[in-house]
């Protein structure tokens, strides 16, 4: 107790002494009496003693409200006594030496930097300068400088830049003085103007007098000199000076010398310092050329390979990789043009925007490689083994947030006259239907119920266990030992064409019966009967030879099928190119390529032997009940594509089921990206090892597929396919180039292609080399999808996640800034993955995500329409309009039939609120279509919740807003070359018909005072996990800006958060933390914002589903599977 009391008294005593001494010092400053220098010296000496011995004193002097720093700085500014100055400098050094940067920041805010610079200028006039004073001044400036963002400007204005430089020049052997001077020069050099000024006075040459070959002496000085040089060389002027004097070669020589002699890796910081200097000087084109001429690529490659074995040397390897990647000569893509390989002539050329720029580009401008000196290393550095969460919505760019409250406040602006909007009345017959011709009273409601043994239509995780609880266990499995022989017997007969016999009217009851029976078959039996049975005789013939292209006008065309209307022009589309015809028009069409060897006998024997064990029969769920192979081919016939696709991909024809197990997200192996980059660098160093052979080329119409047995065969000439060119690099490595969106020269991300001719036990590396996004989920566990035809014939028609050594990184291919529309990001990125195939001579398909074609949508809608119970469910399938290529844009209406045709029930039916849903405006976001498929099937199901939804709401659904983009394998655009989700403000009926008429439907509902309760647009997200929503809120937008005064008075209904909140509590895959309700300027023309602002729908959302999987909740860490 006595000890504690004594300690307390001692602390109080020290505190009071400090306050007393500071008071004395303040009094001395104010009195300015002659002879007080001795007193000041004595007081500052005592304060120094306290500061050196007690942390409490240091804290007190920099604490909030304390005037200690001001008194000390005031004394320093006014005194002329050398010893007092030295005492005060030592006091300040002690204060800022500990406690992090906060104390140095306090010194800066009190004006300490300016006082120190003035003192430095005064002290420099002494001849000779006081060495002790100069050491202390530079030591203090080196500690304070990094916390003062304007120190470079202050130093230049005060004229002290060359003081430190001259001290170094004249005292090279005085390491005690040179070290702090170099530290200050490093701080000064962060200002580019200072760096140039110092460079003109010989600072670069001076640094090369200090740094040199390996030596154990003065290593700390060497380290600081290298850091200073690296900062100086960030100036282009200094970098050019270093190149002109041959210092690039000198730096490489110094690095090699330290690398060879530092066998115990004790001087890694010096080695890294040399690399940082090389990195700075290679920011300019001359520096990169000098590096290449000095054989720097090979030298750094070899030294980095020698460092791989030691994990602590990773910083050296990573920096070497950055330098080599930067110096790797920039190449244009090996294409005749980066514009799409396919062309579609637009009816109207936009006056401005990317499409107008594309049409106005001079010839071959997109082939120019940008050789500017601009090199932004920040992005490249962050790619090395670090995770970038570059899409965090909590950190918005303030300049992108809408701050104009008048623009934020929703206001209904129909934009079109009531008379013009009446054209949409035909799409709302439910508002006038009286059902007098229906005998509804005596009918017991019997909704369409798929067979309980059939699998659920989509495997998107939800919290509801209702379906699984009601569903009976599947009993319709197929034994593997019975399946494979059945398929193999017919399969070994090599098919050439699939021929589809002509069908009679699709409304015939016989066809419906056949469809229903087919849906009751297990998948394997379906495969054997629908595929193998007619492999040698089936071809696709177009039964409608005289199809016309329809525009987007307002003349109503009634189709032969009841309940379908379309908006079409009164004359054919004259602008449609000849390649815009129906698929397979007037010609037989090949259904892909079958595996040449059929089912391997050895593997089949293994299957049979394993069947006698515990898992004698492999039971699998069936393909979705709405998948019909023959009907799919029927739908494909009327699908119009620009490339005139002549094949059907097997996964689209067969259909697929989700894998029978959870697929975990891949855990990325450490260093995989670095390894792949090194392998790319080997291409430049060992060019003779590169095959560089084109094995697939869409641009060359006369190109023939190689016949060699050890070369893979590629193909993407089918609906939604995207692969433009393939180059064999090494024996088992291929570079793949994706096609641009039509009428565009970029948007490369979506891929879907076929590979055949493989062997087992070999790892094949695939590099997709012209991706554009700066980051991807491929860096964080996502794998590409693969579909094996051999596996499908073994009753496992599954898209599965495959690939090892997967990463996504910037490569050495680039395009000109002109071709990029002035964008800064001109480099391309590579997705690389390695696959070992299970079956030889298989036919496999790879995709960015589960493919979902336009023909698949048409098939699903036709099946849903034919299978529902019209006494229970009101289902209507209309054609909203024709696309640019002449494809139909479907519009679906789903609700419950009225209980009877009495007035009360009809009134309730007509006055149900609307829910408006749309999807697939971006073709590459295929998961949006799968979520929409699940939505449609759920709404048509017998679930009590689904029945309740139908009885409560009318669902208006546009399941695919961009059919043309989906058909032609685009990633983001329609045939107009524009992102349709940026056209909602002013859609052009000739260029954006689907958006124009979708907005028209909503405008019509607003005009008749029937605003939808909810609008939701389904999307997919490539850089975030889970499922989440974007909404619109004025208050939440204002919260993210500095304009908060006005938002305090805003009254806003928080109902916009209701639906996301409900989903966050009921769906484990949904992440409320990723949701955002901020309105950004860059999104003002999206569906979500326009429907909220102009139409007046408060609950207007974009729902984003990950292309990868979940990192939260019960589904962590697994993929979301679709089927």
Catalytic residue ranges: 1104
Alpha-carbon distance of 886 to 865, in angstroms, equals: 23
C-beta pairs of 166-169 under 8 Å, 24+ apart in sequence: 167/129, 167/134, 167/138, 168/206, 169/202, 169/206
**C-beta separation of 187 from 181 below 8 A:** no
The bridge status of strand 1027-1030 relative to strand 1100-1106 is antiparallel
Alpha-carbon distance of 427 to 877, in angstroms, equals: 10
Q: How many residues does the chain have?
A: 1123
| 306 Cβ contact list (under 8 Å, min separation 6) | 259
- Other residues' Cβ atoms within 10 Å of the Cβ of residue 590: 17
CA neighbours closer than 13 Å in the CB half-sphere of residue 1115: 24
Alpha-carbon distance of 196 to 204, in angstroms, equals: 10
Cis peptide before 1117 (omega within 30 of 0): yes
- Other residues' Cβ atoms within 10 Å of the Cβ of residue 399: 10
Q: In this structure, what token pair is assigned to residue 53?
A: 């011995």
Helix (H) or strand (E) holding 929: helix 926-939
Instruction: Output the 3-class SS for 538-576.
Output: ECCCCCCCCCCCCCCCCEEEECCCCCCEEEECCCCCCCC
The secondary structure of residue 1046, as a DSSP letter, is G
Helix (H) or strand (E) holding 724: none
Q: What is the DSSP string of 63-82?
A: STT--HHHHHHHHHHH---H
Q: In this structure, what token pair is assigned to residue 999?
A: 């907005």
**DSSP three-state, residue 641:** coil
CA 1064 to chain centroid, in Å, comes to 23
Alpha-carbon distance of 509 to 723, in angstroms, equals: 41
Instruction: Output the 3-class SS for 579-603.
Output: HHCECCCCCCCECCCCCCCCCCHHH
**DSSP three-state, residue 1066:** helix
**C-beta separation of 673 from 712 below 8 A:** no
Q: What is the DSSP string of 179-203?
A: HHHHHHHHHHTTSHHHHHHHHHTTH
Q: In this structure, what token pair is assigned to residue 43?
A: 């007081």
Residue 827, beta-bridge partner list = 814
Residue 809, beta-bridge partner list = 830
Residue 165 phi, psi (nearest 5): -65, -45
Cα dihedral 714/718/723/728 (nearest 10): 10
Helix (H) or strand (E) holding 519: helix 509-519
Cis peptide before 128 (omega within 30 of 0): yes
Measured N-to-C along each axis, helices 629-637 and 523-530 cross at an angle, to the nearest 10 degrees, of: 50
H helices of 98-130, in order, are 102-109, 112-123
Q: In this structure, what token pair is assigned to residue 213?
A: 């070959």
**C-beta separation of 752 from 784 below 8 A:** no
| 661 Cβ contact list (under 8 Å, min separation 6) | none
Q: In this structure, what token pair is assigned to residue 577?
A: 């190119």
Q: What share of the chain is helix, strand, coil (3-state, %, to 5)?
A: 45, 10, 45
């Amino acid at each position: 107790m006595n000890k504690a009391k004594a300690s307390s008294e001692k602390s109080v005593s020290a505190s009071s002494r400090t306050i007393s001494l500071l008071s004395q010092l303040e009094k001395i400053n104010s009195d300015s009496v002659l002879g007080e220098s001795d007193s000041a010296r004595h007081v500052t000496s005592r304060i120094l003693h306290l500061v050196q011995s007690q942390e409490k004193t240091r804290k007190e002097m920099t604490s909030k409200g304390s005037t200690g720093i001001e008194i000390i700085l005031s004394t320093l500014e006014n005194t002329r006594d050398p010893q007092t100055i030295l005492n005060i400098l030592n006091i300040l050094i002690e204060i800022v030496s500990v406690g992090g940067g906060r104390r140095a920041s306090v010194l800066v805010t009190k004006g300490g930097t300016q006082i120190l610079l003035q003192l430095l200028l005064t002290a420099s006039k002494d001849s000779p300068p006081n060495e002790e004073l100069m050491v202390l001044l530079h030591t203090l400036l080196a500690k304070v400088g990094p916390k003062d963002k304007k120190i470079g400007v202050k130093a230049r204005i005060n004229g002290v830049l060359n003081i430190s430089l001259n001290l170094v020049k004249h005292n090279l052997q005085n390491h005690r003085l040179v070290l702090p001077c170099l530290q200050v020069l490093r701080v000064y050099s962060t200002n580019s103007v200072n760096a140039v000024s110092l460079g003109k006075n010989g600072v670069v040459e001076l640094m090369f007098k200090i740094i040199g070959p390996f030596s154990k002496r003065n290593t700390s000085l060497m380290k600081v000199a290298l850091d200073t040089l690296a900062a100086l060389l960030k100036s282009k002027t200094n970098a050019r000076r270093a190149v002109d004097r041959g210092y690039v070669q000198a730096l490489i020589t110094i690095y090699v010398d330290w690398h060879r002699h530092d066998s115990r890796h004790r001087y890694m910081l010096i080695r890294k310092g040399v690399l940082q200097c090389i990195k700075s000087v290679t920011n300019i084109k001359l520096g990169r050329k000098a590096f290449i001429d000095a054989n720097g690529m090979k030298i750094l490659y070899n030294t980095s390979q020698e460092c791989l074995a030691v994990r602590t040397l990773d910083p050296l390897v990573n920096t070497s990789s950055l330098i080599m990647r930067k110096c790797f000569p920039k190449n244009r893509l090996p294409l005749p043009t980066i514009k799409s390989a396919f062309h579609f002539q637009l009816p109207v050329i936009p006056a401005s925007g990317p499409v107008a720029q594309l049409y106005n580009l001079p010839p071959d401008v997109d082939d120019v490689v940008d050789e500017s000196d601009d090199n932004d290393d920040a992005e490249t550095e962050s790619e090395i083994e670090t995770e970038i969460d570059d899409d965090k919505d909590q950190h918005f760019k303030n300049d992108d947030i809408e701050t104009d409250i008048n623009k934020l406040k929703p206001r209904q602006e129909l934009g079109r006259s009531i008379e013009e909007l009446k054209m949409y009345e035909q799409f709302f017959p439910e508002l006038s239907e009286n059902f007098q011709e229906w005998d509804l009273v005596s009918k017991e409601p019997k909704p369409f119920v798929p067979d309980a043994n059939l699998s659920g239509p989509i495997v998107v995780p939800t919290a509801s266990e209702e379906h699984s609880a009601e569903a009976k266990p599947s009993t319709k499995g197929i034994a593997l030992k019975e399946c494979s022989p059945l398929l193999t017997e017919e399969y070994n007969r090599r098919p050439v064409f699939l021929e589809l016999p002509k069908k009679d009217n699709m409304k015939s009851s016989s066809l419906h019966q056949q469809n229903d029976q087919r849906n009751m078959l297990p998948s394997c039996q379906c495969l054997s009967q629908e595929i193998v049975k007619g492999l040698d005789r089936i071809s696709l013939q177009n039964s409608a030879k005289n199809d016309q292209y329809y525009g987007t006008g307002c003349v109503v065309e009634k189709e032969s099928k009841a309940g379908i209307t379309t908006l079409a022009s009164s004359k054919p589309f004259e602008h449609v190119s000849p390649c815009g015809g129906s698929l397979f028009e007037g010609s037989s069409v090949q259904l892909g390529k079958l595996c040449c060897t059929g089912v391997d006998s050895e593997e089949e024997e293994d299957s049979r032997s394993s069947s006698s064990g515990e898992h004698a029969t492999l039971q699998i769920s069936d393909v979705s009940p709405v998948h019909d192979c023959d009907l799919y081919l029927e739908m494909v016939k009327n699908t119009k594509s620009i490339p005139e696709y002549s094949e059907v991909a097997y996964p689209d024809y067969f259909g697929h089921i989700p894998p029978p197990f959870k697929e975990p997200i891949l855990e990325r192996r450490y260093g995989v990206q670095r390894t792949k980059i090194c392998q790319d660098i080997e291409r430049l160093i060992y060019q003779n090892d590169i095959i560089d052979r084109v094995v697939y080329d869409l641009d060359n119409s006369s190109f023939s597929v190689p016949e060699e047995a050890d070369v893979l065969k590629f193909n993407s000439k089918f609906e939604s396919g995207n692969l433009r060119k393939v180059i064999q690099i090494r024996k088992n490595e291929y570079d793949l180039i994706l096609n641009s969106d039509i009428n565009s020269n970029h948007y490369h991300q979506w891929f879907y292609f076929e590979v055949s001719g493989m062997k087992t036990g070999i790892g094949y590396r695939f590099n997709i080399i012209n991706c554009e996004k700066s980051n991807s989920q491929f860096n964080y566990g996502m794998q590409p999808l693969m579909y094996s035809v051999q596996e499908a014939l073994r009753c496992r028609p599954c898209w599965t996640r495959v690939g090892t050594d997967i990463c996504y990184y910037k490569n050495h291919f680039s395009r000109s800034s002109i071709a990029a529309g002035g964008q800064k990001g001109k480099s391309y990125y590579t997705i690389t993955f390695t696959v070992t195939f299970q079956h030889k001579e298989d036919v496999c398909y790879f995709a960015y995500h589960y493919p979902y074609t336009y023909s698949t949508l048409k098939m699903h809608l036709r099946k849903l329409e034919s299978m529902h119970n019209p006494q229970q469910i009101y289902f209507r399938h209309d054609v909203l309009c024709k696309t640019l290529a002449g494809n139909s844009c479907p519009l679906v209406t789903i609700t419950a039939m009225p209980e009877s045709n009495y007035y009360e029930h009809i009134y309730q039916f007509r006055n149900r609120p609307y829910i408006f849903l749309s999807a697939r405006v971006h073709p590459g976001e295929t998961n949006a279509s799968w979520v929409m498929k699940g939505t449609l099937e759920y709404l048509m199901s017998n679930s009590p919740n689904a029945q309740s939804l139908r009885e409560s709401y009318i669902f208006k659904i546009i399941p695919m807003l961009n059919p043309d983009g989906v058909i032609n394998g685009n990633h983001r655009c329609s045939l107009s070359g524009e992102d349709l989700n940026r056209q909602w403000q002013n859609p052009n009926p000739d260029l954006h018909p689907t958006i124009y008429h979708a907005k028209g439907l909503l405008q019509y509902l607003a005009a008749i005072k029937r605003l939808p309760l909810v609008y939701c647009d389904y999307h997919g997200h490539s850089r975030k996990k889970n499922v989440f929503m974007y909404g619109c809120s004025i208050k939440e937008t204002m919260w993210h800006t500095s304009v908060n005064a006005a938002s305090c008075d805003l009254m806003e209904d928080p109902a916009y958060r209701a639906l996301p909140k409900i989903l966050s509590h009921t769906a484990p895959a949904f992440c409320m933390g990723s949701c955002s309700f901020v309105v950004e300027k860059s999104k003002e023309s999206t569906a979500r914002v326009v429907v909220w602002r102009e139409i007046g729908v408060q609950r207007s959302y974009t729902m984003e589903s990950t292309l990868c999987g979940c990192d939260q909740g019960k589904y962590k860490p697994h993929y979301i599977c679709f089927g």
